[in-house]
Every structure is written in C-alpha cells, then in structure tokens.
Amino acid sequence: MRFSSRGLVRAGFAAGLLLGLAGAASAQTISFSEAGALLAQSCGKDIEKYCPKVNLGGGALKDCLAQRADKINPQCITDYKTVVASLDARLAAQAAVTKACRGDATQFCQGMVPGDAHLLSCLNAAKKVVSKRCTAAITNAGWN
C-alpha cells in the first residue's frame, strides 16, 4: 500500500510520539497540526524516497530514518527532534495543569472540579488574576 508523504509523515510522527521519543523539552509547545505540517515540509520527501513502504507502527519509521541518517536532510532530523520534544512538553503540561492550577481553581473557580471543561473556561476567563504558573501550564498544554 502506498501513502502520500503527508500521510506518512503524520502517521510516522504519531508512531514516534507514542514511542516516547524525547529531546530537550522547551517551554513553548506546538499543536499536533503544526507538528504534522512542519514534518511534512521538512521530512516528506525523505520519507517518500527512503522509507516509502515502511510499516508505520512500532517505531519502524523512526528506525528507517535513523538507518539512513547520513542521507536524510539534516533539517528533517532537527525538526523531528524538535517536534517530539515540544509535543512531549505539551503532553506533560496537560498532565500538570490540575496541580499547577489547584490554588487558582480554589480561589477563582469555586465549586468546579478538575477534569470539568467549565473549570478550564473559568481559569481562562480569569487569566488576568491567576498565577503565572497556572497560566503557563494552560498555555503549554495548548488549552487557551
């Protein structure tokens, strides 16, 4: 079966993400859509050329690219690492929002419970008065 380079990149990216590839996490995160677009732009041609029939599951795309690293566009490798690190940071931020915003939720959003979308809406509405820690966690989680 043949896939488009965009489909390969997005599917391969998802496989890589699920494998938990890690790099240096940055404070800024990017959306899954932005990640797919960046990888399609910088890795799409290399995937089509060097890994067109690779099974995307189980890290096969990551392995294929690693085996051909000397042929792969260096920007692809850099962008791949950046995307994985950023999305790892985003997922960590999403997991940390409840803890980071606990005090703010108690103070500004009484009666709302963690996991409730209304709590997030309340915190976003109160962003001028919530702590920098909470605001940063929500921003890095991509939830504002």
pLDDT score recorded for residue 42: 92
What total number of domains does the chain contain? 1
pLDDT score recorded for residue 105: 92
pLDDT score recorded for residue 132: 94
pLDDT in tens, 9-51: 444 444 343 333 333 333 468 888 888 899 889 999 999 999 9
Low-confidence ranges of the chain (pLDDT < 70): 1-28, 56-57, 116
pLDDT score recorded for residue 78: 92
Domain with 39 in it = 5-141
pLDDT score recorded for residue 135: 92
pLDDT score recorded for residue 49: 94
Vertex 20: Cα angle to 116 and 34 (nearest 5): 65
Contacts 24+ apart (CB under 8 A), 5-9: 5/40, 5/44, 5/45, 5/47, 5/48, 6/36, 6/40, 6/44, 8/44, 8/47, 8/48, 8/51, 8/52, 8/54, 8/56, 8/61, 9/36, 9/39, 9/40, 9/43, 9/44, 9/47
pLDDT score recorded for residue 5: 41
pLDDT score recorded for residue 2: 34
